[in-house]
């Protein structure tokens, strides 16, 4: 148990099952990855990127952190976006939040949470920026609304990166999407905030 043997057993069964269905699957995949999508989502164990959109290995490039935040100076996230856009040539960046996000809840519950409070300041910023939209709501509704507003804000942050803006300036086809996932029923919702050009971003920046 100490060496987590059960996980290796599950891995063996998984890989064997895939090879039985498609003997060349791993050989083909080992030669290259050519995903069309970059997924920026929450680390929450209930929101597994590939499974939610039912895509096999090789189809989704993934970055996850607590509360799916895109911080202007986060070298980790920026490197992922850079690699996805400039090397993998992905066509779509999806920011996917989810209702009931523990990170969002913790950001507005008024209690101290230790080190993570520094990261949650980014969510508190979203709350502050949208004060009028959140005012008067119950704590539960406020959390759900903030989960949505956080997606919109992080879409904006993706669009503000030099990587995405340079791609648009170079005429590269690139769309940035905002989605939200419901952990209670497994359903994804498009928040209709897709941005595909610098002009569109400038026009809509005030709205989102």
39: left (phi over 0), alpha (psi -120 to 50) or beta: beta
**Minimum CB distance to Co ion smaller for 101 or for 191:** 101
Q: How far apart are CA 127 and CA 20, in angstroms?
A: 50
* Contact window for Co ion (CB under 5 A) among 34-42, 81-89, 128-136, 166-174: 34-42
**Minimum CB distance to Co ion smaller for 44 or for 153:** 44
128's tokens: 């502050």
> Which residue in the set 38, 39, 40, 44 belongs to the binding site for Co ion (CB under 5 A)?
44
> Which of 63, 60, 66, 68 is CA-nearest to residue 96?
68
What is the radius of gyration, based on Cα positions, of the chain?
19
* Contact window for Co ion (CB under 5 A) among 35-43, 84-92, 133-141, 191-199: 35-43
> Which residue in the set 38, 42, 159, 195 belongs to the binding site for Co ion (CB under 5 A)?
42
149 sits near Co ion (criterion: CB under 5 A): no
Partnered with residue 94 across adjacent β-strands are: 39, 177
Size of site (CB under 5 A) for Co ion: 4
Length of the chain: 208
* Residues recognised as catalytic: 42, 44, 46, 98, 101
> Which residue in the set 101, 143, 151, 176 belongs to the binding site for Co ion (CB under 5 A)?
101
* Contact window for Co ion (CB under 5 A) among 44-52, 129-137, 155-163, 192-200: 44-52
Tokens 């996932």, residue? Answer: 181
For the bound state, the minimum distance from the C-beta of residue 58 to Co ion, rounded and expressed in Å, comes to: 25
Q: How far apart are CA 81 and CA 99, in angstroms?
A: 24
By the criterion CB under 5 A, which residues form the site for Co ion? Answer: 42, 44, 101, 103
């Amino acid at each position: 148990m100490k060496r987590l043997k059960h996980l290796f057993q599950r891995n063996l069964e998984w890989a064997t099952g895939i090879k039985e269905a498609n003997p060349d699957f791993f050989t083909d995949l080992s030669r290259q990855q050519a995903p069309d999508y970059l997924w920026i989502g929450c680390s929450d164990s209930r929101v597994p990127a590939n499974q939610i959109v039912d895509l096999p290995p090789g189809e989704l490039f993934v970055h996850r952190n607590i509360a799916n935040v895109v911080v202007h100076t986060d070298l980790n996230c920026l490197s992922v976006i850079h690699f996805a856009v400039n090397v993998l040539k992905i066509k779509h960046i999806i920011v996917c939040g989810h209702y009931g996000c523990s990170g969002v809840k913790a950001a507005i519950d008024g209690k101290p949470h230790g080190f993570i409070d520094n990261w949650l300041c980014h969510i508190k910023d979203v709350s502050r920026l949208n004060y009028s939209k959140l005012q008067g709501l119950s704590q539960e509704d406020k959390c759900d609304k903030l989960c949505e507003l956080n997606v919109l804000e992080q879409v904006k942050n993706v669009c503000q990166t030099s990587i995405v803006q340079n791609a648009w300036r170079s005429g590269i086809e690139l769309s940035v999407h905002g989605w939200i996932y419901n952990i209670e029923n497994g359903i994804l919702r498009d928040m209709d905030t897709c941005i595909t050009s610098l002009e569109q971003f400038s026009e809509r920046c005030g709205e989102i």
